[in-house]
Structure 1
Amino acid sequence: MTTQLLSGGPAVDGVPLLGPVSRGPADAVATGISTVGLITVLMGAFLSMADFFIVNVALPTIDADLHASAATVELVVAAYGIAYALLLVLGGRLGDSFGRRRLFIAGMAAFTVTSLLCGIAPTALTLVIMRAAQGAAAAMMVPQVLATIQASTTGQARSRAIGLYGATAGIASAIGQLAGGVLVSADIAGASWRPIFLVNVPIGVVGIVLALRHLPATRAHTPVPVDLRGTVLLGVTLLCLLVPLMEGRSLRWPAWTWAMLVATPVAAAMLIGAERRLERAGGVPLLPPSLIALPSMRNGLIAGAPFFAGFGGFMFVTAVGLQDGAHLGPLASGLTLVPLAVAFFIASLLTTRLLARYGRSVLMAGAVLQAVGLAVLAATVLQRWPDVGPWSLAPGMIVAGFGQGLIMSPLFRVVLGGVPAERAGIGSGVLVTTQQAALALGVATLGTLFLAEAGPGGMGMAHALAMVLGVQILVAVVFVFTSRLLPG
């Protein structure tokens, strides 16, 4: 197969791989994207998402090896997610201004270096700092993925590419935990947990080489200054929300955690006011109110945020519960998610045709299937605990994974479908920031709920896991109704 995918390019079974090139004023360089180029940007998305989840199954091993406190171990997850969410929108803006190809390569290089530093970290504190740096590198890289797709494809080509992005994001979460289990269990050269980070180094080097050769150079036609005030206020808002939720339980909720939570709506109000004033004055804010007011963006974020929060909580609680409660090893814990990943991938491949025929009903059906799968998992846990494993949990995982696959890929298409090409970078930044903040929020809230109830004085591991699954079922039911806000 030739890799050239410009207008009038190749097709498979009569279906064009990518559509005609967008040649509006949006980009300083108008070009298409090759198959290898698309794979390259999706590789960046895969690495960033997989690394959010890959540490879940390794946390007990990291704890034992580095003699870390409970709060520090949680920060290994939290530091990455917080830095990632804080800087994503800024990364999208920088890509629009200085070139998406340039920012993608710089982000991939930084991600590769910080992965190496994570892998050789001598102390828990060093690992936490490097994880934050790794999250910042991912924030430089990931917004360029969707922005490049938006700027270099149109029509059905764009729909397919965004669908592949959604599929990649979902599959990476399951494969990340599976890969973490395999690498920790293999204990390569006695390195214990360290290969979960070191494995990124050769992949990152390959990604840089491919990006240099195959990524199109796109950027916004007229660069705009960075909204420093908006960036600071967004950072303060997210930190005030996420830090206490992630660290409050392990630190027994000191006064400063409550003070930060109280400050969250104040910081959010200041952010909204500042962005509105800047846009009215003719400036370009970090989070343009006019962009968020687009029906596809606004309604997609309303529907998507709870889904992503539930998804993040599900992955974290499953990994911790199966290891600490059912006493599965890292490998068995990771293998439990293989049926979910396979079902998710199959569903993602079907969404383009299903959307064309049934519209938003596909997302509603996905939410129903997810709820059914979670209910099956909860029933299995209550009936068989602690004698559960990959085989006994497979039916529920398959149904839940298929439902999640019917949601995530179409959701990305719907949200970005109404975003003009010249705002592709900021649009993708807003979307992925919401995704990452919601994932972190899900880990913080559902993880805290699970750990509190599973510990001494709680209801026990099995009932705690079933309770969290019940909360996620409720989230899926809510999505059935919020998805009706989406176009189509």
Structure 2
Amino acid sequence: MDVTLSARQDGPTSPRAVALSGGLHPVGVFFLLAGAFLPIMDFFITNVALPSIDASLHASASELELVIAGYGVAYAALLVLGGRVGDRLGRHRVFLAALVGFVVASAVCGFAPTVGVLIAARVVQGATAALLVPQVLATFHHTLEHERKARALALYGATSGIAAVVGQLAGGLLVGADIAGTSWRPIFLVNVPIGVVVLLVAARIVPDTRSDRPVGIDLPGTVLFAATLIALLVPLTEGHSLGWPWWTWAMIVLAVVLGAATFMAERRAEQRGEIPLLPPSLLRLPSMSRGLVMVFAFSIGFGAFMFVFALTVQDGLHADALHGGLAILPMAVLFFLGSVFAPRVIGRFGRAALSGGAVIQLAGLASLVVVVVNGWPHVSLWAMAVPLALAGAGQSMLFAGLFRSVLADVPTHLGGVGSGVLITLQQSGLALGVATLGTLYLTRAEHNTAHAFATVEAVQMGIIALLAIGVAALPRFTAAAADAPLLDA
């Protein structure tokens, strides 16, 4: 595959010069991706640290879930708003300000003295991530065209998956290293030096863009949508450990009512000529209406898998954090390799490549369940390597293809809104996967950890099987994008 990254020869070629002319140099692309990598990685890096956080801060099971879900809820609830703020105030400015906030919140997480402080700092992390990440996709949408845009979106999809898997691996390595007796704290503190480097470089080489027709802030829609997510995810996260008191069921009913109110408010706003938080007309675009459902479903299964796999290896097989992180390495390697070749494979075989990726992932997950159930409680991490590698290879194809397809029909001036909606659904799915399938796992793990893992994976395999069939409804992929130089500026 041609991975040429040089700029056009008939114009400015340095990253700084390209940025000053309003363009985006390939180096700028990768630093934007690095900025998106940190928040996505941070959702998953905590998974392998949960037992250490429990031992250090004496957290309950529901508090540990809130360390994950609190970040996810804040992230998902404010993502579309983040896209709009960037469209209006300038994506470069918002990206840098949000990155500063994310770095500061990461430092607070790293030094948190109690689990309450950690959860609060995680919520702030999620909120700043919601401002940061949409600027990446919106900048791609504004500064890149045709094949370069398709490649950048595919790289973002690959980055999302790689960040998730690397997060779990890095978390295990950092916790296992127990640097100066700090246990789990470096998983958050590592964001500080990386974030500062990205901040200093991006300040110089990322162009300042904003929408020519910025959309107003939909305050009622934002409040209703955030309230819907909170009303749904809080009882799903807390209900199991509290014995499902009446108020958890009342909140679930309230979430349904708030969801209906959100839909009606958004529809009325659009009828008045406004562009609401979640525009019904935008959601009716073929690429959005079909692709978003698939991204959401895939994210539910993926978020749940990363959560329950970490707990199965550490709590069930009694592996330490280091080996728990290393256990995911085969998936990380194959996901990375698959992501490198995914654009070319998808360009050649189109939607069939996504179906093939789903089948490969299914084979990996099924064989992983067989290994865990048959070998329990003496399952070798080596025995899980090949199944995890297969799952990672298949996931890489789905990630790249789904993210490439969702924004295909979105008008350029709505790039911030469209990218915000996309990541909102992805992050909502990840948080919902932890809250629902994670709770299912915790309930069944009290009796049999292996069967609990198998139950959750059976649900995920059902989702993947439906995706293997459903990708036929996605827009067709063109071969041109695959043959073009990668992000050739």
8 A Cα contact 1:115 1:197, kept in partner: yes
Partner of 2:90: 99
Whether 2:449 is the aligned partner of 1:461: answer: yes
Partner of 1:309: 300
Partner of 2:132: 141
Map Cα deviations across residues 249-286 of structure 1 (whole Å, 9 max, x no partner).
11211111111111122111111111111111111211
Within the candidate set 368, 372, 380, 1:377 is matched to 368
Alignment of 1:240-319 (within 5 A): 240-319=231-310
Whether 2:179 is the aligned partner of 1:191: answer: no
Moved over 3 A (4+): 1-11
Which range is displaced more, 256-265 or 109-118?
Answer: 256-265
8 A Cα contact 1:70 1:250, kept in partner: yes
Partner of 1:25: none
Partner of 1:50: 41
What CA distance in whole angstroms lies between the structure 2 residues aligned with 1:150 and 1:77?
A: 30
Whether 2:477 is the aligned partner of 1:475: answer: no
Partner of 1:15: none
Partner of 2:395: 404
What CA distance in whole angstroms lies between the structure 2 residues aligned with 1:66 and 1:179?
A: 21
Partner of 1:14: none
What CA distance in whole angstroms lies between the structure 2 residues aligned with 1:483 and 1:248?
A: 35
What CA distance in whole angstroms lies between the structure 2 residues aligned with 1:117 and 1:330?
A: 22
After TM superposition, give the deviation of residue 34 of structure 1 in Å.
1.1
8 A Cα contact 1:332 1:389, kept in partner: no
Map Cα deviations across residues 206-262 of structure 1 (whole Å, 9 max, x no partner).
111011101011110122320101101111111111111111111211111111111
After TM superposition, give the deviation of residue 9 of structure 1 in Å.
6.9
1:434/1:6 CA distance change after superposition, 3 Å: farther
Whether 2:392 is the aligned partner of 1:390: answer: no
What CA distance in whole angstroms lies between the structure 2 residues aligned with 1:430 and 1:442?
A: 18
Within the candidate set 73, 96, 101, 2:64 is matched to 73
What CA distance in whole angstroms lies between the structure 2 residues aligned with 1:295 and 1:398?
A: 33
What CA distance in whole angstroms lies between the structure 2 residues aligned with 1:252 and 1:286?
A: 35
What CA distance in whole angstroms lies between the structure 1 residues aligned with 2:410 and 2:73?
A: 26
Partner of 1:152: 143
1:408/1:9 CA distance change after superposition, 3 Å: farther
What CA distance in whole angstroms lies between the structure 1 residues aligned with 2:310 and 2:263?
A: 37
What CA distance in whole angstroms lies between the structure 1 residues aligned with 2:387 and 2:88?
A: 46
Partner of 2:7: 5
Map Cα deviations across residues 269-325 of structure 1 (whole Å, 9 max, x no partner).
111111111111111211111111100011001222111100000000000011011
Percent identity (aligned): 53
What CA distance in whole angstroms lies between the structure 2 residues aligned with 1:440 and 1:299?
A: 21
Partner of 2:422: 431
Partner of 1:449: 440
1:394/1:262 CA distance change after superposition, 3 Å: same
8 A Cα contact 2:176 2:321, kept in partner: yes
Within the candidate set 52, 64, 68, 1:61 is matched to 52
8 A Cα contact 1:80 1:132, kept in partner: yes
After TM superposition, give the deviation of residue 386 of structure 1 in Å.
2.1
After TM superposition, give the deviation of residue 31 of structure 1 in Å.
2.5
1:6/1:88 CA distance change after superposition, 3 Å: farther
8 A Cα contact 2:172 2:321, kept in partner: yes
Within the candidate set 73, 85, 92, 1:82 is matched to 73
Whether 2:351 is the aligned partner of 1:349: answer: no
What CA distance in whole angstroms lies between the structure 2 residues aligned with 1:381 and 1:2?
A: 43
Within the candidate set 146, 153, 168, 1:162 is matched to 153
What CA distance in whole angstroms lies between the structure 2 residues aligned with 1:376 and 1:327?
A: 21
8 A Cα contact 1:49 1:173, kept in partner: yes
- Identify which of structures 1 and 2 has the higher relative contact order when contacts are C-alpha pairs closer than 8 Å and 6+ apart: 2
8 A Cα contact 2:5 2:26, kept in partner: yes
After TM superposition, give the deviation of residue 7 of structure 1 in Å.
8.2
After TM superposition, give the deviation of residue 2 of structure 1 in Å.
10
Partner of 2:256, secondary structure, is helix
After TM superposition, give the deviation of residue 184 of structure 1 in Å.
0.8
Within the candidate set 189, 201, 208, 2:192 is matched to 201
What CA distance in whole angstroms lies between the structure 2 residues aligned with 1:354 and 1:50?
A: 26
Within the candidate set 159, 163, 173, 1:182 is matched to 173
After TM superposition, give the deviation of residue 78 of structure 1 in Å.
1.4
Partner of 1:320: 311
After TM superposition, give the deviation of residue 10 of structure 1 in Å.
10
Partner of 2:201: 210
In structure 1, runs of 5+ residues without a counterpart are: 12-17, 22-28
After TM superposition, give the deviation of residue 135 of structure 1 in Å.
0.5
1:273/1:6 CA distance change after superposition, 3 Å: farther
8 A Cα contact 2:65 2:435, kept in partner: no
8 A Cα contact 2:213 2:413, kept in partner: no
In structure 2, runs of 5+ residues without a counterpart are: 477-489
After TM superposition, give the deviation of residue 485 of structure 1 in Å.
1.4
Residue type matched to 1:90 in 2?
A: L
8 A Cα contact 1:309 1:440, kept in partner: yes
What CA distance in whole angstroms lies between the structure 2 residues aligned with 1:264 and 1:75?
A: 18
What CA distance in whole angstroms lies between the structure 2 residues aligned with 1:362 and 1:256?
A: 46
What CA distance in whole angstroms lies between the structure 2 residues aligned with 1:448 and 1:34?
A: 44
Residue type matched to 1:325 in 2?
A: G
Query: How much is the aligned-residue C-alpha RMSD, in angstroms?
Result: 1.9
1:255/1:5 CA distance change after superposition, 3 Å: farther
- Aligned residue-pair number: 470
8 A Cα contact 1:4 1:33, kept in partner: no
TM-score w.r.t. structure 1 length? 0.93
8 A Cα contact 1:89 1:429, kept in partner: yes
Partner of 2:474: 486
After TM superposition, give the deviation of residue 3 of structure 1 in Å.
7.1
